[in-house]
Amino acid sequence: MNRSFATLISGTLFALATAWSALAADPKADNWDSVLSQAKGQTVYFNAWGGSQNINDYIAWAGRELESRYGVKVEHVKLDDTANAVATVIAEKTAGKDENGRIDLIWINGENFASMKQKNLLFSPAWADKLPNWKYVDVENKPTITVDFTIPTEGLESPWGGAKMVFFHDTARQKKGPLPNSIADLVSWAEANPGRISYPAPPDFIGSSFLKQALSELITEPEKLLQPVKKDEFATLAKPLFDTLDKLHPNMWRSGRAYPKNYPAMTQLLSDGELDITFAFNPSDASSAIAQNKLPDTVRSFTFSGGTLGNTHFVAIPYNATAKAGALVLANFLLSPEAQARKQDPNVWGDPTILNINKLSDEDKARFEALDLGIATLKPEELGPMLPEPHPSWMVEIEQEWTRRYAAGN
């Protein structure tokens, strides 16, 4: 009697728990009120590159806002490479940990998104386009919001910011010859100014982007970059890239025997006067660095008239995230005009918005119009054309070949 009663109780509890966990596991972005109530009290582990203090500060601000407004805590897990977060999710999936994963939100794009999407590691069905703030997103004019490195995003990641490669130099410093206007120019510029340019070694994303920029300019059949790479063609198609690098490296900083860790490290080197030309994926990076005492106010930006790489960066939720509702709330907050305007302020971060200003209310428009984009930031019309990102598979091949040639110590 007693025993069967206990069985009954525990059976009921188990059924309830299962039902509850099924309920709890699947927040629906289109039922926002239930998302908000489910999110309350959750802690979102936001895995995001942590190499830049102003970005870390911005994330900390977003966390404080989220806690006071929605009762959602945010812990920033600082990565040095987003691939590490992907690795964690893969490890959890292989270990059968399909629930209560360690990561709730990842700052992601390109190669890592492609790999997670392909391996079904992302929270689905589509949620990004159901977020309340999605209505402000500039899907019409920014194709990279829906197609990430040739891969359709299909609502599995939510845009966070825009990116375009721009170059920086210090006008107070003497340099030989005009500023380069292409990768080929850059090689001859380095010949005239040896030791004053470098790029971070891949897999750092800025370093990889520099290599993709070079490949996009130098490849004879650029349309092939939009398709997955064919292994047997790679050597021939990438030959111009590696020939150019072979010419560039002897005239690079430290004669190409060492590389800066990433773009903030290059900024420090520009400030110290070790480098003359640096670059970043953020048009207002130099203005932002000036505002933070990291660069002298004589630094200015320039770009290539033939175009530079541009893309969008996103946030995505792993399929086994613990705090999915909280992650949705954070993703939606990051899309809000308020958070986006703050992000674009060079005194804070200076990262371009992915919203369409014309869709905003007058009050929110005013937030953007009030921004001083900074002395070293190019106007949107000066940024030049945008080159598309190659299919992610190209980067894998480039990184391997690069490592084999330049990092293997031969």
Partner 1 sequence: MVASGGVCSGMILRLAPALAIAILIGPVVCGLLATILPAFGYLPALGEEALSFRHFESVRRSPGIGPAAFLSLYTGLLTTFIALGIVMFFVSAWHGTRFFSRLQHFISPLLSVPHAAAAFGLAFLIAPSGFLMRLLSPGITGLTRPPDLLILQDPMGLTMMAGLIAKEIPFLLLVTLAALPQTPASRARQVAGSFGYGRTAGFLLTTWPLVYRQIRLAVFAVIAYSTSVVDVALILGPSSPSTLAVQLTQWMNDPDIGMRFAASAGALLQLGVTLGAMLLWLGVERVAAAVARFARRRGTRFQKDRIVRAASASAILIATLSIASGLGILAIWSVAGFWAFPEALPRSFTLSNWDRALPSLGRPLGITLITGLAATLTAIILALACLEREFRTGRTGGSKALLFVYIPLLVPQVSFVFGLQIFFLVLGADASWGALYFVHLIFVLPYVFLSLSDPWRAWDKRYASVAHGLGASDNRTFWRIRLPMLLRPALVAAGVGFAVSVGQYLPTLLIGAGRLPTITTEAVALAAGGDRRVIGVYAFLQMILPFLGFVLAAAIPAALFKNRQDMKANV
Nearest approach in angstroms of CB 91 to partner 1 is 7
Q: Is 259 in the site for partner 1 (CB under 8 A)?
A: yes
85 versus 215: smaller Cβ distance to partner 1: 85
Using an 8 Å Cβ cutoff, are 82 and 157 in contact?
no
111 versus 364: smaller Cβ distance to partner 1: 111
Window contacting partner 1 (CB under 8 A); options: 56-64, 134-142, 314-322, 381-389: 56-64
Q: Is 18 in the site for partner 1 (CB under 8 A)?
A: no
81 versus 154: smaller Cβ distance to partner 1: 81
Window contacting partner 1 (CB under 8 A); options: 15-23, 29-37, 354-362, 401-409: 401-409
- Residues 112-151 within binding reach of partner 1 (CB under 8 A): 112, 115
Nearest approach in angstroms of CB 305 to partner 1 is 29
Nearest approach in angstroms of CB 208 to partner 1 is 14
The single-letter code of the amino acid at 190 is: A
Q: Is 50 in the site for partner 1 (CB under 8 A)?
A: yes
Q: Is 42 in the site for partner 1 (CB under 8 A)?
A: no
Q: Is 298 in the site for partner 1 (CB under 8 A)?
A: no
Report strand pairing: 277-280 vs 166-170: antiparallel
Binding residue (CB under 8 A) for partner 1 from 10, 40, 41, 57: 57
* Helix, strand and coil in the chain, % to nearest 5: 50, 15, 35
Cα-to-chain-centroid distance, residue 405: 27
Nearest approach in angstroms of CB 406 to partner 1 is 6
CB within 8 A of 393, min separation 6: which ones?
A: 228, 229
Q: At what angle do helices 324-335 and 32-39 cross, to 10 degrees?
A: 120
Question: What are 147's two structure tokens?
Answer: 């197609």
112 versus 303: smaller Cβ distance to partner 1: 112
Q: Is 96 in the site for partner 1 (CB under 8 A)?
A: yes
Q: Measure CA of the first residue to CA of the last residue in the chain; give whole Å.
A: 77
Give the DSSP per-residue string, 196-251: SB--PPTTSHHHHHHHHHHHHHH-S-GGGGGSPPPHHHHHHHHHHHHHHHHHHGGG
Sign of CA dihedral 322, 325, 328, 334: negative
Q: Whose CA is closest to 347, among 391, 289, 300, 303? A: 289
Which residue is associated with the tokens 């909280």? 326
Burial of 96 (0-12, 13-18, 19+ CB in 10 A): exposed
Binding residue (CB under 8 A) for partner 1 from 2, 4, 68, 293: 293
The backbone torsions φ and ψ at residue 158, rounded to the nearest 5 degrees and listed phi first, read -110, 130
Say how far apart CA 290 and CA 288 lie, in whole Å: 5
Q: Is 25 in the site for partner 1 (CB under 8 A)?
A: no
Q: Is 88 in the site for partner 1 (CB under 8 A)?
A: yes
Q: Is 90 in the site for partner 1 (CB under 8 A)?
A: yes
175 versus 365: smaller Cβ distance to partner 1: 175
Q: How many CA atoms lie within 13 A of 382 on its CB side?
A: 12
Q: Is 375 in the site for partner 1 (CB under 8 A)?
A: no
- Residues 182-241 within binding reach of partner 1 (CB under 8 A): 194-195, 201
Q: Is 68 in the site for partner 1 (CB under 8 A)?
A: no
Q: Is 391 in the site for partner 1 (CB under 8 A)?
A: no
Contact residues: partner 1, CB under 8 A: 45, 47, 50-53, 56-57, 60, 64, 75-81, 83-84, 86-88, 90-91, 94-97, 102, 112, 115, 194-195, 201, 253-255, 257-262, 264-269, 271-274, 293-294, 296, 403-404, 406-410
